[in-house]
Homo-oligomer: A and B are copies of this chain.
């Protein structure tokens, strides 16, 4: 962990990133690795650095934030590093929400902000609710449709609870495109209902699905929610919509998706205690399969984090060597 930290920081600094910004970006990637979310982990670092070299990510800026109205922050990310801009916006809306009860940041012109869970966890730990939405390239088909027209539009919700906060972080696709690629690499068949092929027909062939579309989670209702999130973000940030969204999966396009953070002052300690008790009731619910106890969102990520803090993280050799190269170290 310590070695990975230093190498990532060095790689980002080699690309012109100030030390504080390099630490923010590296922390987010490593926290994803610790939680077992490799798709949002160090494998993203080479693309981030390529984007800096290609002029579509500016590692130095903290963005340009303007209060559109007393509780509404417009943040022009100025092509900055995703988490650097996101945290700069969050800091301001969190402080404002302490006074006004609720505040929102509409973030445009920002790069990929990574795993949303970390933002939700930090905010909820300090007694505020976070509702975080982000749009993304169109990979998801509308329910009953054959083409990818909607982003995987993740949502995170953090709610304070006594002890550990409640943290939900999920994409609105049935599975991640990273999982399709992983299945393709290992020659595994997809489960029915996960994806369509390039012609818009249902497929279990992972290679065919790479050129197709992901199913929305939750059929018609999940489609409706993912679409609603895309519209909400666009209405607030003026971001691109659908197939016009670029820049989170490539190294050369300006990133034109949007991010929205809504921060709300949460209830008192008594409510946080009742919420913790209720979550324990849910964990204690008799399970359909005895070997699979009922889980509360965030439980598994916390367990994985605890374990990896002991055992360390495992990285694919290819990813690690790429990052070492970027840091200009000998392998």
Contact = CB atoms under 8 A, between A and B. Distances in A.
Contact of A275 (B235, B288, B292): B235
Contact of A232 (B144, B159, B202, B222): B159
A170 interface: yes
A264 interface: yes
Interface in A236-265: 236-238, 241-242, 262, 264-265
B142 A282 contact: yes
Interface in A251-295: 262, 264-268, 270-272, 274-275, 278, 281-282, 285-289, 292-295
A147 to B, nearest CB: 5
A194 interface: no
A143 B293 CA distance: 10
B295 A144 contact: yes
Given A227-B297, A236-B129, A285-B146, A104 B104 contact: no
Given A69-B101, A102-B71, A274-B241, A235 B129 contact: yes
A119 interface: no
B72 A285 contact: no
Contacts of A211: none
Contact of A288 (B102, B146, B150): B146
Contact of A222 (B129, B217, B237, B295): B217
Contacts of A288: 144-146, 200, 202
A190 interface: no
Interface stretch (A160-168, A177-185, A305-313): A160-168
Interface string A132-144: 0000000001111
B149 A285 contact: yes
Contacts of A70: 70-71, 99-101
A147 B275 CA distance: 18
A36 to B, nearest CB: 15
Contacts of A282: 142, 145, 149-150, 227, 242
A224 interface: yes
Given A70-B100, A231-B275, 14 more contacts: A102-B102, A129-B232, A131-B232, A142-B285, A144-B294, A146-B285, A150-B282, A157-B228, A170-B221, A225-B225, A234-B267, A237-B267, A241-B278, A242-B282
